[in-house]
Amino acid sequence: MPFVSRRRISAPIAAYLLLSLLAGCSVHPPAPQPAAPAPFVAAPIPAGERGQQIRLGKLIFDDTPTYAHAYAGNQFTCSDCHLQSGTIAYASPMIDLAQAFPAFSQRAGHVITLQQRIQECFTRSENGQPPPLDSKELNALVAYIDSLSTGAARGHSYPGRGLVPVPALTGHPLTGRALYARQCAACHGHNGAGVPHVLPPMWGPGSYNNGAGMDKPPKMAAFLIRNMPQNHPGTLSPQDAYDIATFIHSMPRPAFNPAYKSY
């Protein structure tokens, strides 16, 4: 619920607050979404050094602050944005991603490797610093992502790649605050702090910085509309998703380190 001070407020503002609360509690029809492909089944992890590297990569992916603590600067894990170890359709899965690189990056303005893309995530979503190209952490993540390849030919993307498309809408942060309190706060906290190592913080010092992709309401809305809330995914309308994303976007978070602007 939006915070309302004990000071007297004008009738127009009171009416606006009431309408926002009502909007936050209303039920909107969810948007039609593409069908998910068949559940992904990973290949068996091989024995030996390669298998150990893949296992370490999955540990880093699922608990980045613990297993890549030298480079992670917040409480986020890779799995917080790429759900279930990067294997869920329309939740930015890692399936067949390795064969898509090298690829042109609009953000960087040039062709980048998979290693450089991972370094970018560490400087933005992890609010940390890029692991060196020869680091065991970076090489383990590359090995794990490569293990999620199905052998598809280059240029043939996994059917559930990326996020679902959403219409261009205008989000309303006050309505989003009410929706967040109702739909999100039970897991992520009314203060947005989440639960360390369990649920990611939505704002504050432990969250992603303002250079991360999730700090853009359209991208967050596309993630929310398919994947949240966890107990009822796919039940948010496009406007609901935009309102929640815009509210979260309005809250404080770390500033992106300009020293890493090349990432």
**Is the pLDDT assigned to residue 17 strictly greater than 90?**
no
Beta pairing partners, 104 = 111
Question: What is the identity of the amino acid at 172?
Answer: H
pLDDT given at position 153: 72
Q: What is the average per-residue pLDDT within 72-92?
A: 97
Q: Is residue 184 part of a domain?
A: yes
Q: Is residue 72 part of a domain?
A: yes
Residue 49: count of CB within 10 angstroms of its CB: 9
Which pTM was predicted? 0.87
Confidence of residue 6 (pLDDT cuts 50, 70, 90): very low
132 with 173, same domain?
Answer: no
Residue 261: count of CB within 10 angstroms of its CB: 11
In the chain, how many domains are there? 2
Query: With 0-12 CB in 10 A as exposed, 13-18 as middle and 19+ as buried, what is 98?
Result: middle
The CATH number of whichever domain residue 242 belongs to comes to 1.10.760.10
113 with 173, same domain?
Answer: no
Torsion of CA 81, 83, 84, 88, to 10 degrees: -150
Minimal CA–CA distance to 68: which of 120, 153, 136, 5?
136
Q: Is residue 81 part of a domain?
A: yes
Q: Is residue 21 part of a domain?
A: no
Question: What is the identity of the amino acid at 162?
Answer: G
111 with 167, same domain?
Answer: no
Confidence of residue 27 (pLDDT cuts 50, 70, 90): low
**Is the pLDDT assigned to residue 9 strictly greater than 90?**
no
Confidence of residue 210 (pLDDT cuts 50, 70, 90): very high
pLDDT given at position 15: 40
173 with 126, same domain?
Answer: no
Q: Is residue 9 part of a domain?
A: no
170 with 141, same domain?
Answer: no
Picking from 45-49, 178-182, 194-198, 222-226, which range would have the lowest pLDDT averaged per residue? 194-198
71 with 126, same domain?
Answer: yes
* Domain extent at residue 237: 163-258
Q: Is residue 20 part of a domain?
A: no
Torsion of CA 262, 56, 36, 188, to 10 degrees: -70
